[in-house]
Structure 1
Amino acid sequence: MTRFGTIFSAAVALAAGGYWLSQPQSSLPSNPLVGAAYAQETEVDTSTIIEMVQGAEDAPVEIIEYASYTCPHCAAFHEGPYKQLKKDFIDTGKVKFVYREVYFDRYGLWASMIARCAGPEKFFGLSDLIYAGQSDWARAGGPTEIVGELRKIGRLAGLDNDSLEACLQDANKAQTLVTWYQENAEEHGIESTPSFIVNGKKVSNQSYADFKALIEAELGS
């Protein structure tokens, strides 16, 4: 997936605006991308966004992943290489893994708001469920059906309906998330997903064997 930036967010917002206005408030989240698309015109405090991190804080190798929940290549990475990386390097204290969402569309943003709803403790577990079910929820139909499937994933993870609705309807949080993603992606020159920053160097998506060799080189082993 290669589309990126404020121009795309603005286009999505304009296209989505009329749709949201025609929908019952109870069926869809508030129109988060409309506000977020123009966040550059207002002051947004992105320091309130929690970084989602696995592994030892002082690990010798830091990997930052930039990924979209609607990106098939990201789902494939999380179903394959990520699991092996976690076992061999993250859980053993050699890699600090930071996951940062990219928002190419409102569906990915909604998925992110569900994943973040229960806090850092459940974030990666919810992300696993979202990626595992991507081919189902992302193709469920229109926005109402898609957000309905995402709600089901949230409930499967133990979130109640009131909590889910509060998270999905938090337009200020949505605006802050999109501004945060744009700041990070511009800093690191992210133009596609998944992309990775390994000890400050940008790396494209690759096989587990290539990641392993790269990490071992950074470890000096």
Structure 2
Amino acid sequence: MSKVMLAIPVGIGVAAAIFAAVYFGTNEPESGDFTVSELVTLGSPYMGDESAPITIIEFGDYQCTYCYKFHKDRLGIIQKEYIDSGKASLVFVDFTLNGPDSVLAAEAAHCANEQGKFWPMHDVIYRSWKGERTGWVNRDAITQFAQAAEVDTASLNECLDSKKYHQEVLDTYEFAQGIEINATPSFLIISGDKITKITGNQPLEVFRKVLDGM
């Protein structure tokens, strides 16, 4: 894949530049390095109305410290202000920087999705966070997460044993690297032909500035 030209338009302001809210420019997202539909296919079900004018693509790792902090401190506010109001929708895409345990967590969320339980499983995993590479993600823990998310554990374990989503999770990581995602959490905020990249668990005002500017 060719590299995407990065630029910060004058309108974003100095503060957002300091907080690393980086703009891709205004090329149509359906030309060049990726399409919006590709990202959605690789990711979760939509949170919110898929026809909302803004799509937020979050690239995350279930063991990532700052992903956990975003989930705990930012997501609920963004959901209330933008997703529940119909202004935006959210799609979560796995970017498993922290190795095999992160891959296992991602597989478990995809397996839960077969039962229509992606977001409950996703939320339980993040609520259960205990650090990076500390061993808290394992098969026994996954079973407990599934029970808390009201996911049928027998079906989930059968899905995990089959490694049905294992390669997909690995391929998603490679794909994301190809479009210059290199940290978690990272976000692509997409509206029409405008794409904005935010890297890291930035202050809430950075997200509001970008979303309101769309």
| TM beyond 0.5 | yes
Identity score, percent: 26
Which residue is equivalent to 1:29?
none
Cα deviation for residue 58 of structure 1 reads 2.2
Which residue is equivalent to 2:212?
216
Q: Is the 8 A contact 1:103 1:109 kept in 2?
A: yes
Aligned with residue 160 of structure 1, among 114, 130, 152: 152
Which residue is equivalent to 2:100?
106
3-state DSSP of counterpart to 1:169: helix
Which residue is equivalent to 2:113?
119
Aligned with residue 195 of structure 1, among 179, 186, 191: 186
Q: Specify every segment of 5 or more residues in structure 2 that has no aligned partner in the other structure, as ranges.
A: 1-38
Which residue is equivalent to 1:23?
none
1:81 aligns with 2:74: yes
Cα deviation for residue 164 of structure 1 reads 2.3
Cα deviation for residue 158 of structure 1 reads 2.1
In 1: Cα distance, 2:43 partner to 2:197 partner: 22
CA gap 1:197/1:69 in 2 versus in 1, 3 angstroms: same
Q: Is the 8 A contact 1:138 1:146 kept in 2?
A: no
3-state DSSP of counterpart to 1:53: coil
Q: Supply the AA of the counterpart residue of 1:92.
A: S
Q: How many equivalent pairs are there?
A: 169
Which residue is equivalent to 1:10?
none
Q: Supply the AA of the counterpart residue of 2:160.
A: L
In 2: Cα distance, 1:138 partner to 1:154 partner: 20
Q: Specify every segment of 5 or more residues in structure 1 that has no aligned partner in the other structure, as ranges.
A: 1-45
Which residue is equivalent to 2:25?
none
3-state DSSP of counterpart to 2:187: strand
Instruction: Give the structure-1-normalised TM-score.
Output: 0.68
CA gap 1:57/1:163 in 2 versus in 1, 3 angstroms: same
Cα deviation for residue 192 of structure 1 reads 0.5
